[in-house]
Amino acid sequence: MCGIAGFIDGSGRITDVSGVMADMSEAIRHRGPDGEGASYDPDRRVALVHRRLAIQDPSDAGRQPMSSASGRFEIVYNGEIYDFPECRRDLEVADHRFRTGCDTEVLLAAFEIWGIEPTLRRVDGMFAFAVLDRDQERVTLARDRAGQKPLLLAVAGDSIAFASDLRALEGLPEPFATRLDGIDEHALRWYLANGAVPWPMSIRPGVEQVAPGGLVEIDLRNLRIDRRRWWTPPLPADDAEDRATDPTAEDRRVLDAVRESVHRRCRADRALGVFLSAGLDSRLVAALAAEARPGLPAFTLGMPGPFDETAEAAEVAAQLGLEHHAVRPTDDDVVSTAETLHAVADEPFADSSLLATTLLARAASSSIAVALSGDGGDELFGGYRRHAMAANWNRRNRMLRAVALVAENLPESVSGSIGRIRVGRGTVLDALRKIEAVPRGLAGYLDLRECQGDASGLFDRSVIDIRDRVPKNPWDGLFPEWNGVRSMMAADFRTYLPDDPLVKIDRGTMHHGLECRSPFLGRGVVDTANTLPTASLFDGSGGRRPIRSALRSLGLSDSGRKRGFAVPLHDWLQGPLRPWAESLLTDDADDPLDQATIGQNWLDLMAGRRDLATGMWTVLSWRAWLAARS
């Protein structure tokens, strides 16, 4: 696990090459506190920069940039190949000899013998890398299937740069400086609506995120750039919901796949632990990790009131023989962490659970270097409430859809009275319209999606033209025709997962030099989940039926309500975070948002007139990032 950066100086305009490489290395220092390295090929004008978090073979033999045995390939690599021992044995059969115990050398040997793309399709790992191929005069950038590791690309004429973090690109000299200056308002609109900047966009113009499962090939002879996907998430067949299935056999396949993935991710030459909540996914990961590494430490974040899961997690840990640690941050911890989140996130990011993740990672990093988490289980096995709602559409909601269609055509005198009745955060008609929207396709899905911080609705005058211009969907062409809940789950896997949960877990842990591994995103688990009939994923308790079955087979409880990794945001903004928040709102940074509207909403929140905590957090996260970059 590491940070990478580099550039191709096609124009020859970068005069202080060593100085630029040193600056890029410093910008990603937090991603690799255990060492650094850099190389420059003057004939090809290719610079490679690396910061190391040493997990496999922490000796100096694992330093990067690393060259292949023949010298053809040179790589800077961020991530882990979890099945590298198996790949190594296969390569040794082909008479390759190894000098280190790290997965980087295995990856390079595989490139030489199998080729880059065949290697990517074969290995089980998370990664982002840049590799120089001297024979083919080419630089290849690649990102793992799910997008667990970040990779940014900037193009300025005939000069090209890449990095794990945006800040490593922001400090580049010309010709990049002009190209990367300012704010991409298109990306800002999407951030305000969704709480995150979606790939392939970045908040900086001229910077793009390489797609999850993406491959970028740069021909050094003419600097032509070829962008494509080496892997695209598969979709179940249209008849998946109607296929006959053996639930017992399906459950066994899921448990076998998850067990293999967890056991592989327990391979580490540094101390390893688990993030344990009361949730089903982390509970299963912890149980299977305990098989491979008995007595592991387990860490749970203790939050005030209904957010506290430490008691339930402690019971699970005791049952599994894990060493449980309840992390209880003080108000000072909360404030000091909030003040650094702009640096943790790197780009504007408004999921408040990043605060929780960072608090947990900071505490755990004092005793472990690797943590396992349950991320990805919801997207693959139907764990969100919206999934259960869509899956149950045909069985439960035919009548409600009929009511919704009738309600749309009621006289205003009738619908106006009914429509004012409140249900949750909306009205009766709002709820009926959402129900009626479910089978319409992706547009209906986007209405239902549980966005973390929709500030575009609160601040409809926030950005110039936001009332008149609907941002173009950055995922156009990514989705197939509507196929019920499986299309919704595919949308979550392809967009929400890499845009939000994986950003949160990568940035929150790597900021404290901690590697987080997500077994549910293993190659075998993803492949297995996408072959399951829809009926095997849902039962009367909702989604993730195979996960519940796996827990029962291991002697663990499969009960518990879904809470997410939430924080008491409203209380914290009215309490310990209030001085920090008000200092940001009164800062004189050049901000395109409507400050009068923001100010009034802040007063309403503080007075308890309206619960605008999530929207205000979106604004505060933006203001903190903007102030730090000003």
Q: Average pLDDT in the 81-94 region?
A: 92
Most confident of 342-351, 476-485, 587-596: 342-351
Q: Average pLDDT in the 201-210 region?
A: 94
pLDDT score of 93 more than 50 = yes
**Tokens 């947990």 identify what position?**
360
pLDDT score of 242 more than 70 = no
Confidence band of 486 (pLDDT split at 50, 70, 90) = confident
Give the domain ranges of the chain. 2-229, 246-381+501-553, 385-449+453-487, 569-629
pLDDT score of 96 more than 90 = no
The pLDDT assigned to 235 comes to 73
d(CA 57, CA 41) in angstroms, rounded, equals: 27
The pLDDT assigned to 611 comes to 82
Count of CA atoms in the C-beta half-sphere (13 A) of 562: 15
The pLDDT assigned to 185 comes to 86
Confidence band of 588 (pLDDT split at 50, 70, 90) = confident
Please choose, from the candidates 55, 64, 152, the residue with its C-alpha nearest in 3D space to the C-alpha of residue 108.
Answer: 64
pLDDT score of 436 more than 60 = no
pLDDT score of 414 more than 60 = no
Contacting residues for 35 by C-beta, under 8 A, at least 6 apart: 51, 52, 54, 60, 63
Q: What is the side-by-side order of every strand in the sheet holding 370-372?
A: 323-327, 297-301, 272-275, 370-372, 515-517
Residue of 94 and 553 predicted with greater confidence: 553
HEC profile of 4-48: EEEEEECCCCCCCHHHHHHHHHHHCHHHCECEEEEEEECCCCEEE
Q: Average pLDDT in the 318-322 region?
A: 96
Mean pLDDT of all residues belonging to the chain: 84
Which range has the worst mean pLDDT, 48-62, 165-179, 200-214?
48-62
pLDDT score of 256 more than 70 = yes
Phi, psi of 214 (to 5 degrees): -95, 155
The pLDDT assigned to 567 comes to 85
**Which SS3 state, helix, strand or coil, does residue 441 take?**
coil
pLDDT score of 440 more than 50 = no
Q: Average pLDDT in the 564-586 region?
A: 89
Q: 185-210 burial by CB neighbour count: b if 16+ within 10 A, else e?
A: bbbbbbbbbbbbbbbbbbbbbbbbbb
Q: In angstroms, what CA-CA distances link 7 with 4, 133, 159, 279, 285?
A: 11, 15, 7, 42, 39
Digit-coded pLDDT (tens) for 44-84: 999 999 999 888 777 888 889 999 999 999 999 999 999 99
Q: What is the CATH number of domain 246-381+501-553?
A: 3.40.50.620
pLDDT score of 463 more than 70 = no
Q: In angstroms, what CA-CA distances link 118 with 107, 110, 114, 115, 230?
A: 11, 9, 6, 6, 9
The pLDDT assigned to 481 comes to 55
Digit-coded pLDDT (tens) for 367-391: 999 999 999 999 999 988 888 887 8
The pLDDT assigned to 179 comes to 82
Confidence band of 591 (pLDDT split at 50, 70, 90) = confident
The pLDDT assigned to 41 comes to 95
HEC profile of 518-547: CHHHCHHHHHHHCCCCHHHCCECCECCHHH
> Is residue 106 within 8 Å of 77, Cβ to Cβ?
no
Q: How many CB atoms lie within 10 A of CB 585?
A: 15
Residue of 308 and 514 predicted with greater confidence: 514
d(CA 383, CA 543) in angstroms, rounded, equals: 5
**Which SS3 state, helix, strand or coil, does residue 233 take?**
coil
DSSP readout, 574-589?
Answer: HTTTHHHHHHHHT---
pLDDT score of 530 more than 80 = yes
Q: 508-547 burial by CB neighbour count: b if 16+ within 10 A, else e?
A: bbbbbbbbbbbbbbbbbbbebbbebbbbbbbeeebbbbbb
Residue of 518 and 491 predicted with greater confidence: 518
pLDDT score of 515 more than 70 = yes
d(CA 353, CA 504) in angstroms, rounded, equals: 7
Please choose, from the candidates 154, 241, 248, 238, the residue with its C-alpha nearest in 3D space to the C-alpha of residue 203.
Answer: 154
Q: Which helix (H) or strand (E) holds 315?
A: helix 310-320
Q: Average pLDDT in the 197-225 region?
A: 94
Please choose, from the candidates 154, 243, 234, 237, the residue with its C-alpha nearest in 3D space to the C-alpha of residue 200.
Answer: 154
Query: Under CATH, domain 2-229 is a member of which superfamily?
Result: Aminohydrolase, N-terminal nucleophile (Ntn) domain (3.60.20.10)
The pLDDT assigned to 193 comes to 85
The pLDDT assigned to 386 comes to 83
Which stretches does DSSP call E strand in 366-492? Answer: 370-372, 422-423, 426-427
pLDDT score of 416 more than 80 = no
Contacts 24+ apart (CB under 8 A), 105-112: 105/62, 105/66, 106/81, 107/75, 107/77, 107/81, 108/66, 108/67, 108/68, 108/69, 108/73, 108/75, 109/68, 109/69, 111/68, 111/73, 112/68, 112/69, 112/70, 112/72, 112/73
Confidence band of 430 (pLDDT split at 50, 70, 90) = low
Please choose, from the candidates 274, 453, 295, the residue with its C-alpha nearest in 3D space to the C-alpha of residue 372.
Answer: 274
The pLDDT assigned to 619 comes to 93
Strands 159-163 and 515-517: unpaired
User: What percent of the chain lies above the pLDDT cut of 90?
Assistant: 59
pLDDT score of 145 more than 80 = yes
Residue of 478 and 175 predicted with greater confidence: 175
The pLDDT assigned to 462 comes to 38
Confidence band of 293 (pLDDT split at 50, 70, 90) = very high
d(CA 236, CA 128) in angstroms, rounded, equals: 27
The pLDDT assigned to 407 comes to 54
| Helix (H), strand (E) counts: the chain | 30, 19
Residue of 195 and 306 predicted with greater confidence: 195
Q: In angstroms, what CA-CA distances link 556 with 249, 256, 375, 547?
A: 20, 17, 19, 11
Confidence band of 442 (pLDDT split at 50, 70, 90) = very low
Digit-coded pLDDT (tens) for 122-141: 999 999 999 999 999 999 99
pLDDT score of 578 more than 60 = yes
